[in-house]
Structure formats: structure tokens, C-alpha cells
Amino acid sequence: MIQPRQLRIEDFSYELPAEKIAYYPLEKRDESKLLIWKEDLVRESVFKNIINFIPSGSRFIFNETRVFQARLAFKKNSGAAIEIFCLEPVAPYTDIERAFSQKEHCVWRCIVGNARKWKSGKIEWIHNNGDSLKLYAELIEREEATFLIKFSWTPESCSFSEVTEHCGNVPLPPYIRRKTEPADKNAYQTVYAREEGSVAAPTAGLHFTKNVLEQLEVSGMKQLKVVLHTGAGTFKPVSSETLADHTMHTEKLQISKKTVEELLKPVSGINIAVGTTTVRTLESLYWFGVKLTIEKRNFDFFISQWEVYDNYQNREISVETSLQAVLDYMNRRDLEQLYGSTGFMVVPGYKIRMADAILTNFHQPQSTLLLLVSAFTGDAWKEAYQYALQHDFRFLSYGDACLFFKKEV
């Protein structure tokens, strides 16, 4: 039985020189390098050739979340610059879709840069002279590490989505130590992004081009979609000695009835999860179905950080049984879309059930993303990462990709 709280984070570290971090994307997304790890053998290719390594009849599952312009620059009357990083909506709606359609005013939970210079009062967005859109921020409440900020704007007919699109900047990860540039608005977004709500891109998907997606379609490979809105917590390293003292960030997700139905159909090839966010979504979906199967009652879709390990890990329910329970739940409620949230922490020793291969980037040392990769690969990630470091692969969000297969595939 897995005891995730006892895992020591120092066992999931490696030396990452600064020069190995990709601070800019390649001009052509699909020209990035691709490391393929299968049966303890490593191969190297270019991403645009990925189809050559995938069995026919396979399914790709993508996270089609869309990154919004979450960084907002304000200035006090004194001249002090204040940066506000939007994390999640609080009022009048916590639902992402409704929050972005809100007009006139709204409240969000945010990170505030240079907060010591802002004790109270309303501040104004730094705008170009003559700009017709005016945006204001008011500090409502200070929390432990975040702030509740009330935004208001004119013209009031604009939605908050339009406000952030016009006023905001791309929320590049903190390890990309440079200012945002105009090209980032397109580069830090997947070509299939649809549902606005993330403050971090599902970076495994950044390598896909329309041409690569067309190749998959022509070859008969299914393309399924889920949504997990990635939060800033994805960049938070585990700073505690063991996982027991680390609080996993909660993220909102959305899965269509069509996707659940497709996942229930047999596949002649394999299931490839594009990115750690997709793995987390699919595994959370599985455990929601397990809870429905075992407890035989209806409840909202939420998986907490430790509940799988504490309550369900000794219960082996088939994927088919779990997904059928989810589909029955959606049918009873006449739902075309299943909305939920997950704080589930995928750790080494956990058995991933919903994917036979994972396409992902190279992640930070001691990160929860690396823990998830280790859950999929065991100690093989260490050899793969060492190979990548020695063969000029580019690391982190704008870096290269790796494709890990389960050993039995």
C-alpha cells in the first residue's frame, strides 16, 4: 500500500543548469526535439515525426484549456508599480465561464507584487494615453499568501474576459526570467486551446501544429478533449522534507459526455495523455467513478489530495465500471458537461490507469509534475532526464518533449 505522505522530495531532484532552460520557444513548434522512452530504451527524434512512434488505432487525449492574460500592471497615485496576478474568481461567480462573462465588476483571488506599497485604496491600470478602457483594482482582504481584489472597469459593457485580453500580459512561468514579449501571446498557447481559464499553458501541447494534428486525423487516430484549468500552484516546488507537509493545489476541470462515451469504447491501439494536466484529469475522473460505484450515491465531482490513498487504494475497480458509473451519473442528471475540481496528488507508487503513454515536457526538480512522471515511469525518468541533459535537450515550458510508454505496451 502506498504511503505518499512519507515520500521524501529529495529523491526527486536533479541538477538543472540555467543554460538548459528554454527561455524562448522555437520558431516552428513541431521542430522541437522528442525523446522516446520505451522498454528501457531511449530514442531521439523530432516532434513532427511523433506519428512514427505511435501504434495505429491509438487515441490522443488533449487538455484544451486556454491561457488568459492573467498579469495586470497597476500604478498608485504615488507612482508605485503594483502587479496583480489573477488566480481564481471569487464573486459574484466562482465558475470560470460565468466569471469571464461578468460585466461591471468582480472579485478574484490574486497574488500581488509589491504589496507592501499598497495598504488600501483604489489603483488604476497602467494604460496608453487615450485608451478608452479604464480598469481599477481595490484591495478587499489580505489572506495568508494571496489577496482578494475587486476589479471594476468602464465601459461597463465589457466582459472581464475582454478586460484581461486588452489589459493583461501573458503569465509566463517565473523561471522564464525575462519580460513578456508580443510573440508570447501566441507561443504560450496551444493551437487547439478553447476554454479560457488557465494561468499556465499545458506545455506538452505547445509542440502540436495544425499539420501534426491533421496527420493524426488522416491516420485514423482519435483526438479526445478534456479541460483542466491550470493554476499557479503548478510552479510551486515541494519545499517540505516529505509530502505530508505539502498542500496540493486544486484545479477546476470539465469533461464532456462525448469524451466519457469515447473513453468507454475499446481502442485497438493505446491511450496517449498529452501532458500531466491530462493525466491528472483522467485519473480524477476514474476515482470519481470509483466513488460513485462504491458509495452508490450522488455527490459533486471533487477529489481531494489524499482521499484516494486513505479510502480507496485497496479497491480495484475496472476502468470500464468506473466510466460507466460516471456516464450513468451524467445521464441521470441530463448533463452534457461534467464540471468538477481536483486536488489529487499523483505520486510515485501510484498505478496510472487511464493512459498507456504520456507525452510531456521536462519538469522542474522537486515539483509535483515530476512526481507524476515518476509515478508513470518509476526510476526510468532519471535515466531519461540524464540523457536529455547530455544531448542538448531544452527544458521546462518552452523546451522539448518526451514520450514515455508503459513497459507492458
Per-residue pLDDT of 149-160, as tens digits, reads: 999 999 999 999
Cα 175 to chain centroid, rounded? 16
Residue 190 has pLDDT above 70, yes or no: yes
User: Does any domain span residue 175?
Assistant: no
User: Does any domain span residue 100?
Assistant: yes
User: Does any domain span residue 181?
Assistant: no
Burial class of residue 130 in the structure, from the number of CB atoms within 10 Å of its CB (0-12 exposed, 13-18 middle, 19+ buried): exposed
Percentage above 70 pLDDT, the chain? 99
222 and 275, same domain (yes or no): yes
Phi, psi of 79 (to 5 degrees): 100, -10
253 and 297, same domain (yes or no): yes
| Closest CA relative to residue 267, chosen from 64, 60, 405 | 60
User: Does any domain span residue 219?
Assistant: yes
User: Does any domain span residue 261?
Assistant: yes
CATH of the domain at 354: 3.40.1780.10
- Is residue 149 within 8 Å of residue 83, measured between CB atoms? no
Residue 409 has pLDDT above 50, yes or no: no
Mean per-residue pLDDT of the chain: 93
Q: Does the reported pTM lie above 0.85?
A: yes
The number of distinct structural domains making up the chain is: 2
Print the domain residue range for 282: 4-67+187-405
